[in-house]
Structures are given as structure tokens and as C-alpha cells.
Structure 1
Amino acid sequence: MHNKAIEEVLKELNTSPFGLSQEEAERRLKRYGLNEIEERKESVWAILLRQYTNPLILILVVAGFLALLLGDWKDSVIVWGLVLVNGLIGFYQELKARASIESLKKLTRQKVIVIRDGKEMEIDAVFLVPGDIVLLSEGDVVPADLRLLEEAGLLVDESLLTGESVPVEKYSHVVLPEDTPLYERVNCLYKGTVVVRGKAKAVVFATGRQTQMGLMAEKLEEKPPESPLTLALRDFSKKLVVGLVLILSTLVLIGIAQGRSWEFIVFFAVAQLVSAVPEGLPIVITIALVIGAIRLARNNVLVRYLPAVETLGSATFICTDKTGTITEGRLKVEDYIPLNEEELFLCSALCNDSDGKKGDAVDLALLEWLDEMGFNWLGIRSIFERVWEHPFDTKRRLMAVVVKSDKGYKLYIKGAFESLSKLAGNSLNVLQEKHDHMAKRGLRVLAFGYAELERIPEDIDSVKIELIGLVGFLDPPKKGVKEAVERAKKAGIRVIMITGDNLLTAKAVASMVGIYQEGDFAIEGASLANYSDAELYELLKRTTVVARALPEDKYRIVKVLQSHGEIVAVTGDGVNDAPALRVADLGVAMGSGAQVSKDASAMIITDNNLTVIVQAIMIGRLIAQNIAKVIRYLLSANGFQIIYNSLAIISGMPLPLYPTHILWLNLVTDGVVDKAYPFTKYEGDPTKEKPKRPQEVFLGKKQIIYILYTAIICALGHYLLFSYILSKYPYELALSISFTSSVVSLWAVGIQEISSKPFLLNPIEYVRTNPYVYLGIILGIVLQALAVYVFEDFFKTVPLDVEHLQYTLIMPVVVFLAIELRKWVEWLYNRKAW
């Protein structure tokens, strides 16, 4: 509608300045529907079901059925119990987060003044229809997408939609080209924006999902990317299933060929399958994520989608908006040039409609500045009585008042430098130079002037003024943002500021907080169309500011970065940010932002500050590090058992671990140790590390090498030990020694996996890194003692005396020292490299 004259618009909408009839409005309501954006909520059952679709969980369910078919109902109950508890924890956490989001929503409906049947009336905004004539005044929220018919001094805050922090002047009789971007459509008003000043009469041309806000909501239905951990585990699960089926099938065939009982060997395979599938992994990961979510909550971050917690630590790019995240979202006087300071202060106080609490952002900023300068503006207003005013004129961009003075009257005026220059009688050379310098710094500059009069003027053009100074305004950066940017850069995370503001302002703010530096690129959103996706990616690697960005620009930037393997965190608070928030690897909305942006995000920060986001990323790195330790420990333990039993079957030896031993190992090693890893403190400084791809962190080459190193040493060592003690002691006794040695060895592995640093480098600090692991081992010792000395019939063990216990300690010491040696070699190598 921005490209059509008022008469065309009214004709196309089949309406008039006198509005629709009530009957016609009701007919259109049935046709177009309510003026609201319906939310498509995920059902509670869908959330619950999603908790049980993880591939590892499905493997465990199948393993539970196999155990049940073979008559081992106890193992089935244990496995299914773990599955149930894991799912319920995730389900509870998501419901709790969703309830917190709901509490943030406004419960009241918006009212609006419309003209129907030629009369003004107040209705709920949800009942607006295309063709309705709406009346707006200062402070009103625009209820639908409107085309202006009339306006008087209209200023609108469109930051929610466009990201532009400065209110926009609106004009009704302008007809614009069809390709005019959203932020330049000065003859239209859009749903969700706010009237800062002036009055307007406008016609509704779009409601509900047809509004700009609604069209963006459509994009929110696009499925967000899965978390890196989910993708890594899915890939791992497929390989694990194939590998286990091949290995265990081969072992069963070998066992049967050797004449072993097929029932026994199949039961062994099932027990090995249950043991080899790290059933503790999903629940430990959930615990790590929940603990991470609690830590984040203490840092003003509300987690809506739990798997997103681990994504934090992998972020390589932060695409942040400016207003409200980097800046305070309000104007502040940054600099001023006085030619007559006293008159400049008087003009700032008297040519001002704010009461210090509400009003235009510029007027509020001026009063705050006067307070800081120690100027009593309230007292001055009581002395000088206002007798005439020229309200803010959006076309001429100025405002003037006349007050009584001892000598007659004084006129005070403020506005754009270009506008006041035409009325000025004094020299402008000095001020022109100062004005241009301030503008290049990205400041919004206003000129101030005054004139002494003998009588009240008929109009502003009849007055010759004297310019008395300039004042530059800026939306100031928030405290701590600069330090946060430095921290992010140090941690290898690139920060791109994407804003609807003009390029000069954007660069100025970005420079203040260290985002933009000499040599960086700063571009406007309109120029992005000139680049292919491949070219744009190369450009984005050197770009730190994207100004005049539209929602589709931000959306495309995120998609391009993701297509090249980047993990992208996006911050935003407006409707314009919602599409990018939805498709980002990690969408972070502001607590004070639009509801649609919160619904599109994975997290909400209650303190709208980039500092919080960077801190959250550091917490995310700790979470990812601890999850990696859990994976490494569990897979090392499971790999050891498979290799150990495989060697015995292939060589024709009796089984060194009974099926019940294999299942018990999961309880007294994995079960009591792995649950403690999420409480491990961070090693070193997270900001000194570069981002790592999630697959590399969780199941990368280095991780696999560590797992195989530990598993092979454990398996070979125990195989040789079992061969020896089998020649010395009866099978039952050798089996008990092998069983207990395996348990203690995995405790040794558990201690070594607490940290990547050598244990002997600083044993006290090592213990402090995570004391809960040792508490878990103490519990495991009690359980193992019960298995060997109390329930020996159930576990097919015999009590061990001091002589036998000595053999159970040989391999734990060997395994501990072997891992310690690997750590020392790596630590010395890295130290030399530094």
C-alpha cells in the first residue's frame, strides 16, 4: 500500500474516511478472521514422546526386550527404568521452562479507537478488519498494518520491527516506489510498533498473519536445527549398533563352534549388548544439561530447550542486534558544542515537553543531561511561563516555544541543523564543521537557537534566531559489553552486529565496544543481494557490522554461516529477529522483547546484555567438556569389556567375566562414577580455547584414540593376568579376581578422566576439581564388597583373602600409570609448543 495514493488505497479496500458499517465489519471478520497471530504450541504428549526418540534410548528399549525374552526380567526392569527416568527428567525440565515463558506473556487485550458507521468507538484490537479506519495518538501501540490518511507531528518507534533505535517521522501524502524497503515506508504503520509523538488517522490493510509481524511468524514454523550433540550421538549410535551386531554375532558363532552352550553364549551376547550400549549416557547428559541450565539461570539465562545448553560451548559466531543488547535502548547526550552555554541549557529545559519520566526520547535525554550538569530545569520552568509554541514539525524537523522574560519574550528552538540554519542570523562556519564531525561519529545531532522578541510571533518563519550550540545524542553501550566482546574474540568467537540503524551510527557503536576495528568490513543489508552464498560467507568472515538490515538479511546471514559448518548464536528482541532466532543453532531472546521472538528462541536472557551471552557460552564450554568426559569414560569401560571377552572367546579360554558380572560392572563403575562428572570444575581458562566442532569434542579422532588406548591396555592387561591366575587357581577363584580387578581398574580410569592434566602434577588440585567422583567410588567399594562376600551365590563369586586381593590391584595400578604417562607426554608436548 506504500506505493499507492490515499484515494487508490481507500478504493481498493472498499472503504472511506468515515469507516465501515458495523455489519460490513462483521462480514469481513468472518472472512479474514481475528486480528491475532495464533500460536502453534507443541502438545504436552509430543514433548513427552520426544524424550524417547533418541537413538540410544531406542537401542536400550530393544535390549530390554531381548533380556526379557531370555528370561532375565530383572535386567529388563533396570534398563527400562533408566529409560523412563531419563525421559521424565527431560520432560519435566521442558515443561518447567515453558511455564516460565508463559508467565512472561501479557494477559490483557489491546483496545483501539475506530470509526464505524461514521462514529468513533473503542473495540478490542483483535476485531479489526481490513478497511477499518483507526485513530492513533501518543503512546498507542499500532494494532495492525495501516496506511496513513492523515497525520500531525507523527513519530513512531519501529525498533521492534526494523531494529532502528531512533523514532521514524511519518507522512501520509507521500507515494513511494514499490521496492521501497520496510524501514523507509514513511506512509505506513506496522503492527506492534509504538506512536512516540503526534496523532494519526489510518486505514487497516492487513490483520493477523497477513501483517508484517504475522508473515515473520510463518517463518517460525521452520524446524530449528538439531543440537550438535544430538547429531553426534545419532551418528555414533548408528555406527555402534552396526559394530555391536557384527562383533557379538561373530562371538556367538565362534562360541557355538567351540561347543559352548548356545543358551549361555546368547545370554552372554545380550548382557554384553546391554553393557556395551552406554545406557547411562543419556541420563548423565541430561544431568549435565540440567546442571548447566541451573548455572545459566543463576546468570540470568532461562533455558527453553534443554539440548541447546551444550550448543553454547561450540558457538563460532554471535550475530547480535544493537538496540537493547549492546546498547541501553535509550538516547543519551554524548557530546555538546556550546556557543552560549547558559542559553543552551535554558533552551534544553524550556523547549522540551517531557516531565522527566515520560515523553520523547530526545526530550528525556536532554533532561537527564541537565540533571547531570547540575542544572535545575524544574525551577527554571516555574520562572519562565510558556505562552506560545510551534509543536514538533516532522516536515521541517524542528520545535519552538516562546516564554515570558524580563525584557518581553524569548523564543527557544531546537531541531535539525539544516532546518535551523535557514532561520539563523549568526555565522555557521564553526558549527557546520563541528556538526559534520559529530555526525561522522554516528551521533544524532540537534541544533539549538534563541531569539529575544518584543511580541509573540505569528509564525516561525517570521523570526531570525541566533544559534547557541549543538548537542549530540547516542544510544550508549551497556556496561561490560566491551569486555564481553574482548572475551568472545579471545575465545575465538566472531561477533557480528546486525542492526536496522544507519551505517554511521552502527559503526560508531560497534567501535565503542570493540566489535568494529580498523580493517573490518561494515556493510548495509541492501548490498548482501550482490553476493552469492559462497561470496557472502567469505565476506562475513571479515565483516563485523551489517547496518540497515531487514529480517530476511539476518535470516540469510545465519543460513549462509550454517551451510559452511559454523555454529551460530543469534540474539534479538524484536519481531524482526524472530526468523533468524528460529533457524539459528542457538536463538537467544531478550526477556523484555517481543513474545514472538521468545517463542522462536531456545533461551531467554532476563538481563538484556551481550555480557550474559558470552558468559553463557563459557558455561556451555564447561558443559560440553564434562559431557565429553562422560562419553570417554563410558566408551572406554564398554570397549574394555568387549575386547576382554572377545579375546577369551577367540582363544578358547573360559569367559573372564560372567554375564551378571558385565551387568554389575555398569552399576558399580559407570553407575556410581559417571553421574559425578557433570559437577567437574572447568580446567584452565575457557576464553583461551578456540571453539571446537561438537563432533570433534564428543566423538572426534582424539577422543576415539583416547578411548581405544584405555580400552586396549585394560583388555590386554587383564587377559594376560587372567591367563596367569587361571593356571594358578581354580576357575571360580580366577573369575572372582578378574571380576574385582575389572571393577577397580575402571575406578582408576574414572579418576584419570576427571581432568586432562596429569594427576601427579598437582594431586590436591586434581582432587578438588571433582570430589564427587571419589564419593561415588566409596559407594562402589561397598557394593562390590557385598557382591563378593555377601551375595557370592548370585554373582558366582568366592570370597577373596589378602593374597587374592593383591592380584586385583595389579592392573588398576598399570592402567592408572599408563593413562598418567599419556597425559604427561601430551602435557609436556603442549607446554613445549606454547
Structure 2
Amino acid sequence: MQARMEGRVMDFRWSVGQAAFGNGAAEASLPSTSDVLTLPVDVLLGRLGSSLSGLSSEEVERRLKVFGCNEVAKRRKSSLIIDFLYHFRDPLIIILLIAGLISYLLGESESAIIVFSIVVMSTLLDFYQEHKAERAAEMLREMVALTATVIRDGVKREAKMTEIVPGDIILLSAGDIVPADARVITAKDLFVDQSALTGESFPVEKTPTPLKMGDLPITEWNNYLFMGTSVVSGSAMAVVVRTGGQTEYGRISRALAARGPETEFQRGIRRFGYMIMEATFLLVLFIFFINALYKRDVLESLLFAVSLAVGLTPELLPMIISINLSKGAIDMARKKVIIKRLASIQNFGSMDVLCTDKTGTLTENKIRLIFHVDIDGKESGKVLLYSYLNSYYQTGLRSPLDEAVLAYRSVDVAGYMKIDEIPFDFIRKRLSIVVEHENQRYMITKGAPEEILKICSFYELDEVVSDLTEEARRKIERKYLELSAEGYRVLGVAYKRLREYKPVYSVSDESEMIFLGFIGFLDPPKETAREAIRLLREAGVELKILTGDNELVTRKVCEHLGFEI
């Protein structure tokens, strides 16, 4: 086994050596996405030339030279001088510079100074505003962690995120940012928030199980961690499979880093500048030839034509445009909007279609408890109380759903004493706690409704406990499907009075329980979103929502916002 692993490492080093000829070859030396998703962990580690004890320091140095630093694509930065000179490409600016130069050559130095001053002031204003906005935007793009926990030379250590390479073994826990695209090796209660990448409102569970197919949608890559996403709960060990620009986040950043296309406003100004240039040139030629035709002095004819050209040039137009756009940028900055390119303000004003994300833009990107109901859908205080007790006393890794229950309303649980707990696991998909109240012990269970029903023999409605017949079971299932179809994340709640008093309880005690009701969660719409949509509608702007979230959830949010689909 050891010899076979060493052979794989040597094969990978050979491919790395071949890959040194270019980044394209480097990417080709890595396993395909399909292989990363479907191969068993030990086979994938062999393909990457890695092991559970991590890479050696020498191997990391080699791979850094081949794959480069773990940085997402950024626009190639030019010097401030080049950026400043880039603003002089505008046709109107060119006309003014030529006019000023001719004025200077003809002895009109005062006119030349005025023209040059206007050009420089206008250009400086443009340059300063865009450079300041670019600096602010650069700070906002810092979305990834500076360091990551890795295993190298068999030892756990902290490493700079930029020095992460394919084959590195990384360790993740709650609150960590995933430093690169990686395949899960081991995981315990691992939930990851990838809403920034896929638009999903709820954290996604990640497991080490290989996928059966490698062509599934990105939202179903349950054993794959994406760079820039955050760990909500749990812990994991993973092997890095993609870094830098080869990650999913890096591909998106590469598109964003490219210089934006010319806006309609810039195109209009450029065309206007060319029209002025052509008209001025033709007029100068026409006047010069007319004067020459009447046999007037050639020098005087030329001076007259040039003076006319200078007079026709709108010297103040660039400055007027810059001042007005800068004022607009300042006004929008007060409303916490960063304008990277001044010309985009005019485009913003002439917009007729707006494409927007849902999660975090139209919604708060924060899960909230919306309802607590019995099996008939009527609000139930008992469902809330038992849900609160379950979330309050559980000591495992608290999920956003537990946080939402506890944040919903303060419930007095002083009279309840915790006795024991049966932790959540992804096979049972439920969590139970045992509490004692007024010398009576209760087991309270919360989890996936279909799993809760499996352990229930009774149900409660209007404080009356009845046998869970097939008809009642179908009724509960219909209510669950009805609530889910409205876009809610639904959990079931059950309980029972315990007859046997003992210090420790087990999964076998989760039986003959009483189904109590449902609790439902939603990422609620922002209070300001409805008004914003109304204003867009009145302005004649058509709204498009782009999201990777569930269709039913999206429809529910749109319904809350009064947005017709």
C-alpha cells in the first residue's frame, strides 16, 4: 500500500513537472470535476499525490511554482500615471488639446492656458472620483480568510491563504471561511452557508459520501466545498482540489475583473465628440478654400479657420459633465452606494430592466421562525413552548433554525430542568431532550416531519390526545406538504410523558410519541424591498430575480413583496 501511494505521488510530481509549462497544463494535471465528486477519498488523494498527513513543505513550494498563489483574478493594475492618461482618450478632450496647442503656437497663450486648465481640471475630477471608488470597491472584495488551518509534514499549522495548493489537507470548523475549492474527507454535523455563490437561503449539509454522478447541478454537490463560503456549524477535514482562478469563485471573479464594456452614455459622448471633430474639420477646410478661392492671404485664411474651430469647440462640456456626474456620485455615496465609474450613473438612469439576486438583496439573509401551529394549522403556544425547550436545552452545535426559535420570543423555562439529551444525527434527522416539570418528565423531539411521524403513535389537537390512525397520518402529511408548498422550511414537534425515570435515555426511548404540530421558517423579505419594487414599477423598470434557491421559496418571497411572476 505504501509503495502504491508513493508511486501515485511520483506520478503526480511528474505531471506537475509537465504542468510547469503553463497554467492550462497545470489545470489539466488536476483531476476533473467529475472525478473529484465521484471518486472515493483514498483514490482521490492518490490522484492528487497527497495523504491524510498532508503535503511536505518541499512539495508545497513545488506546487506553488506550478499552480501559482491562491488568489482570485484581479484586474491588472496599471500605474496612476497610466490611469490618469487613460482619461485623455475622449474625442472631446483630444479636440480641446489640439485647439489649445494651435492657440499656443499662434501666440494666443492666454486662451491656450484656459483651455488646458479646463481639460486638466475635468480629467483630474474624473480620475479622483473613479480612483477613490475603486479603492473602496477593492476593500469590499476582500471576502476570503487571510489564514487557514492545514496539515503539512504531519503537523497541524496555520498557513497563509495565498499559499494553499492543490493536495493540501485543510481543517474547518464553525466560523471558518473555506480557503479554496475542496472535497470533504470527513465531516461532523457540517453545514455551510453558500448563499453568496448559489443563492440558497438555508445552510447546506456537506458529507464525505462520493456522488453517484458527476454531472449534477452545482447546488447538489454535497461533498464539495466552495472557496469563499462559510462554515455555519460542525467541523470537517477536506483536501484542496482547486485554487485561485480555477475555483468556482475565481471564475466569477475573473469575469468581474475584466474592464467593463462602454456604457451607452460614453458611446453617445464619443459619437458626439467625433461629430464635432468632423464638423470642425470640414468647416475649417471649407472656409480655408473659400478664402483661398477669393485669393486672400493664405496665412490669414488659415488663422481665421483655426480661430473658428477653437470657437466652435465646447471647452466647458467635459467639465460640466464631470461636475454633474461627480455630484450624483456624492449624493449616492450618502446613501451607501459606491460608484466605480461616473459614466454608469447615466446608464443607471436609463435602465429598463434590473436583474437582482434574492437572498440578501430582497431578503434579510437571516432565517426567522414564522409560525408555530397544530395539525389543523392553528397557532399553538404549546408547540412554541416545546420547540423553545428543545432548542434551549440542546447542547450540540446550534443550527440557524435553533437560533431562529430562540430569537422569536422570550419564553419562561425556569420551571423546567434538563435531565438528558439525545443529540441530532443525519440518519434520524431529529433531536430529543428530556426535561422535568412539576415532578413529571417529558421527552420533547424536534426534526424532519416525516421522521417525527415514524416514532409517533398518537397526536394532540385542542389538548385532546388521540390514536394516530391512517386517516390522521395522511392529514398530517397533507398539512406538511401544504406548508412546504408555500415555501416554508418545516419541522415537526412531538412529545411524550415518561413513565420510567432513569439517568440516561437512548434512541430506543423515542417511541409511542404524541405528534404536536409544526414550526415553519423563512428568510423574510426586507421591509424596504416592497417600496423599492413599487418605485421601479412606477419608473417603468422591469425586474428580473436571479436565484439558485428553491422555486417555491422564491414564489413565496415574491408574493410577500407584491411582485407578480
Q: Same fold judged by TM-score > 0.5?
A: yes
In 1, Cα distance between equivalents of 2:531 and 2:138 = 33
In 2, Cα distance between equivalents of 1:420 and 1:245 = 83
Q: Report the CA distance between 1:460 and its aligned residue.
A: 5.3
Equivalent residue, structure 2, for 1:350: 389
2:144 and 2:179 in contact (8 A); partners too: no
More helix as a share of residues: 1
Q: Which amino acid aligns with 2:90?
A: N
Equivalent residue, structure 1, for 2:480: 435
Cα deviation code 1:642-690 (max 9, x no counterpart):
xxxxxxxxxxxxxxxxxxxxxxxxxxxxxxxxxxxxxxxxxxxxxxxxx
Q: Which amino acid aligns with 1:438?
A: L
Quick one: which of 7, 24, 46 aligns to 1:11?
46
In 2, Cα distance between equivalents of 1:441 and 1:151 = 32
Q: Report the CA distance between 1:441 and its aligned residue.
A: 1.4
Equivalent residue, structure 2, for 1:463: 511
Q: Report the CA distance between 1:473 and its aligned residue.
A: 1.0
Equivalent residue, structure 1, for 2:37: 2
Equivalent residue, structure 1, for 2:7: none
Q: Report the CA distance between 1:462 and its aligned residue.
A: 4.6
Q: Report the CA distance between 1:164 and its aligned residue.
A: 0.9
Q: Which amino acid aligns with 2:53?
A: F
Equivalent residue, structure 1, for 2:6: none
Q: Report the CA distance between 1:185 and its aligned residue.
A: 0.2
1:170 and 1:394 in contact (8 A); partners too: no
Equivalent residue, structure 2, for 1:536: none
1:402-481 mapped onto 2 (5 Å cutoff): 402-407=434-439, 409-426=441-458, 427-453=472-498, 454=500, 455=502, 456-459=504-507, 462-481=510-529
Three-state SS of the structure 2 residue aligned to 1:428 is helix
Cα distance, 1:270–1:461 mapped onto 2, change above 3 Å: farther
1:754-793 mapped onto 2 (5 Å cutoff): none
2:73 and 2:254 in contact (8 A); partners too: no
Quick one: which of 397, 408, 421 aligns to 1:388?
421
Cα deviation code 1:609-648 (max 9, x no counterpart):
xxxxxxxxxxxxxxxxxxxxxxxxxxxxxxxxxxxxxxxx
1:431 and 1:470 in contact (8 A); partners too: no
Structure 1: tracts of 5 or more residues without a match: 521-834
1:196 and 1:359 in contact (8 A); partners too: no
Equivalent residue, structure 2, for 1:157: 193
Cα deviation code 1:406-451 (max 9, x no counterpart):
4453222212212212112133343323222221211111111112
In 2, Cα distance between equivalents of 1:294 and 1:168 = 40
In 2, Cα distance between equivalents of 1:101 and 1:441 = 38
Equivalent residue, structure 1, for 2:380: 341
Q: Which amino acid aligns with 1:473?
A: F
Structure 2: tracts of 5 or more residues without a match: 1-35, 459-471
In 2, Cα distance between equivalents of 1:335 and 1:389 = 25
In 2, Cα distance between equivalents of 1:443 and 1:42 = 49
Three-state SS of the structure 1 residue aligned to 2:37 is coil
Q: Which amino acid aligns with 1:164?
A: E
Q: Which amino acid aligns with 2:433?
A: V
1:387 and 1:404 in contact (8 A); partners too: no
Cα distance, 1:419–1:7 mapped onto 2, change above 3 Å: same
Q: Which amino acid aligns with 1:366?
A: V
Does residue 48 of the first structure (1) align with residue 84 of the second (2)? yes
Cα deviation code 1:452-487 (max 9, x no counterpart):
222443225752322211111111111121121121
Cα distance, 1:53–1:353 mapped onto 2, change above 3 Å: farther
Three-state SS of the structure 2 residue aligned to 1:420 is helix
Does residue 292 of the first structure (1) align with residue 328 of the second (2)? yes
Cα deviation code 1:702-734 (max 9, x no counterpart):
xxxxxxxxxxxxxxxxxxxxxxxxxxxxxxxxx
Cα deviation code 1:732-752 (max 9, x no counterpart):
xxxxxxxxxxxxxxxxxxxxx
Does residue 128 of the first structure (1) align with residue 164 of the second (2)? yes
1:712-731 mapped onto 2 (5 Å cutoff): none
Cα distance, 1:263–1:74 mapped onto 2, change above 3 Å: farther
Cα distance, 1:458–1:183 mapped onto 2, change above 3 Å: same
In 2, Cα distance between equivalents of 1:402 and 1:41 = 61
Does residue 34 of the first structure (1) align with residue 79 of the second (2)? no
In 1, Cα distance between equivalents of 2:440 and 2:163 = 54
Quick one: which of 365, 368, 373 aligns to 2:404?
365
2:73 and 2:250 in contact (8 A); partners too: no
1:374-773 mapped onto 2 (5 Å cutoff): 375-376=411-412, 379=414, 383-391=416-424, 393-407=425-439, 409-426=441-458, 427-453=472-498, 454=500, 455=502, 456-459=504-507, 462-515=510-563, 517=564, 520=565
Equivalent residue, structure 2, for 1:64: 100
Q: Which amino acid aligns with 2:400?
A: A
Q: Which amino acid aligns with 2:49?
A: N
Cα distance, 1:387–1:110 mapped onto 2, change above 3 Å: farther
Equivalent residue, structure 1, for 2:269: 233
Three-state SS of the structure 1 residue aligned to 2:391 is coil
1:423 and 1:461 in contact (8 A); partners too: no
In 1, Cα distance between equivalents of 2:337 and 2:292 = 57
1:390 and 1:460 in contact (8 A); partners too: no
1:354 and 1:363 in contact (8 A); partners too: no
For the pair shown, the structure with the greater C-alpha radius of gyration is: 1
Q: Report the CA distance between 1:261 and its aligned residue.
A: 4.2
In 1, Cα distance between equivalents of 2:91 and 2:527 = 45
In 2, Cα distance between equivalents of 1:3 and 1:463 = 37
Quick one: which of 307, 315, 339 aligns to 1:271?
307
Does residue 209 of the first structure (1) align with residue 245 of the second (2)? yes
| Count of matched residue positions in the alignment of Structure 1 and Structure 2 | 509
Cα distance, 1:376–1:502 mapped onto 2, change above 3 Å: same
Q: Report the CA distance between 1:260 and its aligned residue.
A: 4.4
Q: Report the CA distance between 1:52 and its aligned residue.
A: 1.0
Q: Report the CA distance between 1:121 and its aligned residue.
A: 2.9
Q: Which amino acid aligns with 2:406?
A: L
More strand as a share of residues: 2
Q: Which amino acid aligns with 2:475?
A: V
Equivalent residue, structure 2, for 1:734: none
Q: Which amino acid aligns with 1:445?
A: V
Three-state SS of the structure 2 residue aligned to 1:442 is coil
Q: Which amino acid aligns with 2:404?
A: A
Three-state SS of the structure 2 residue aligned to 1:348 is helix
Cα distance, 1:246–1:444 mapped onto 2, change above 3 Å: same
Cα distance, 1:300–1:157 mapped onto 2, change above 3 Å: same
Q: Which amino acid aligns with 2:553?
A: T
Does residue 91 of the first structure (1) align with residue 127 of the second (2)? yes
Quick one: which of 337, 359, 362 aligns to 1:323?
359
1:190 and 1:211 in contact (8 A); partners too: yes
Cα distance, 1:394–1:269 mapped onto 2, change above 3 Å: farther
2:394 and 2:423 in contact (8 A); partners too: no
Cα deviation code 1:507-553 (max 9, x no counterpart):
111222133x2xx4xxxxxxxxxxxxxxxxxxxxxxxxxxxxxxxxx
Q: Report the CA distance between 1:354 and its aligned residue.
A: 9.0
Give the structure-2-normalised TM-score. Answer: 0.84
Cα distance, 1:338–1:487 mapped onto 2, change above 3 Å: same
Q: Report the CA distance between 1:327 and its aligned residue.
A: 0.5
In 2, Cα distance between equivalents of 1:312 and 1:508 = 29
In 1, Cα distance between equivalents of 2:548 and 2:393 = 26
Give the structure-1-normalised TM-score. Answer: 0.58
Equivalent residue, structure 2, for 1:197: 233
Q: Once the two structures are aligned, what percentage of the paired residues are identical?
A: 34
Cα distance, 1:22–1:451 mapped onto 2, change above 3 Å: farther
Return 170-179 or 340-349, whichever deviates more.
340-349
Quick one: which of 346, 364, 368 aligns to 1:332?
368
Cα distance, 1:56–1:460 mapped onto 2, change above 3 Å: farther
Cα deviation code 1:544-599 (max 9, x no counterpart):
xxxxxxxxxxxxxxxxxxxxxxxxxxxxxxxxxxxxxxxxxxxxxxxxxxxxxxxx
Q: Which amino acid aligns with 2:446?
A: K
